[in-house]
Amino acid sequence: MKRNLMLVLVITILGVMAIAPVLAQEATQEAGTISTGSVNCDADLMLNLYIAQRFFGYDAVQSQLRAGGVAGAVDPTLYNAGQFGTLSNTVRAMQDPNTGMMTNSGWTQDQLNALSGMLAMDDATFEEQWNTTFGGDPNMANMTPLTSATVAGEAPECTALRTSLYRFWRAIALQDFTTGMTGTFSNNMGSTGAQGGTGDMGAATPEATASG
């Protein structure tokens, strides 16, 4: 009888030990503290990614680039958001699962297509357009060129994301400078927040300042 009780007790303990990690992982995922990705990068890069996703349509643009077979296109779901998991999961919940477009985005399809087209350029063409736009500024001659940040020993996927975001922000700046897209982004930043509250991030934009 005692042997049977001991056997039952051992089996019960082993069963609890087996399912405990699974339950802990599920609880953590429900709390939004981790994401599905397995690639670990630095916190600065992941926060950079969140801002690009939340306010500037990064996922939607990358979705278009991947669909077009563009080299260097990134799949944001590959990355572990770490302590920004709640933010990342909330953004994904607000996206169209097929296109990556935010449900409350201020983007128009034409703007999205224009930005995707710019990012689909090869490096030489992109740099030529950049230099054509800004190279005529006489102040540029007195400026010291800056280099992009690099992180020694990081995963290749992290380097790819860093390169992609740098190119993305340059394309945003170029589009804004040439077509005046600032109003779109200001409207998006001041739109309904991820948790349903009304955001006030647009309060310090040039448009808001001028209207005050």
Of 176 and 80, the one with more pLDDT: 80
144 falls within a domain: no
Mean pLDDT of 112-123: 91
Over 50: is that where the pLDDT of 27 sits? Answer: no
Mean pLDDT of 98-109: 70
Q: How far apart are CA 127 and CA 61, in angstroms?
A: 19
Give me the half-sphere count of Cα atoms (radius 13 Å) on the Cβ side of residue 206: 6
18 falls within a domain: no
CA 51 to each of CA 20, 125, 135: distance values in angstroms, whole numbers, following the listed order: 35, 27, 29
Per-residue pLDDT tens over the stretch 128-153: 998 888 876 666 667 788 888 888 99
1 falls within a domain: no
Domain, as residue range, for 174? 27-133+153-190
What's the confidence (pLDDT) of residue 180? 66
Are 175 and 123 spatial neighbours (Cβ–Cβ below 8 Å)? no
Mean pLDDT of 146-161: 91
160 falls within a domain: yes
211 falls within a domain: no
Of 197 and 129, the one with more pLDDT: 129
Over 50: is that where the pLDDT of 173 sits? Answer: yes
Of 41 and 15, the one with more pLDDT: 41
Are 88 and 50 spatial neighbours (Cβ–Cβ below 8 Å)? yes
Burial 65-87 (b: 16+ CB within 10 A, else e): beeeeeeebbebeebbbbebbeb
* Chain centroid offset of residue 54 CA: 7
Strand extents, DSSP E, 62-138: none
Query: At residue 149, what are phi and psi to the nearest 5 degrees?
Result: -70, 145
Q: How far apart are CA 105 and CA 95, in angstroms?
A: 9
- How many domains does the structure of the chain reveal? 1
What pTM does this model have? 0.68
13 falls within a domain: no
- Residue 107, SS3 per DSSP: coil
Over 90: is that where the pLDDT of 12 sits? Answer: no
Reported confidence tier of residue 50, pLDDT bands at 50, 70, 90: very high
Which segment of 39-53, 129-143, 157-171, 176-190 scores lowest on mean pLDDT? 176-190
Over 80: is that where the pLDDT of 34 sits? Answer: no
> Which one, of 185, 64, 181, lies nearest residue 113 by Cα?
64
Of 31 and 83, the one with more pLDDT: 83
Mean pLDDT of 2-17: 45
Over 90: is that where the pLDDT of 44 sits? Answer: yes
196 falls within a domain: no
96 falls within a domain: yes
Over 60: is that where the pLDDT of 182 sits? Answer: no
Three-point CA angle 184, 185, 186, nearest 5°:
95
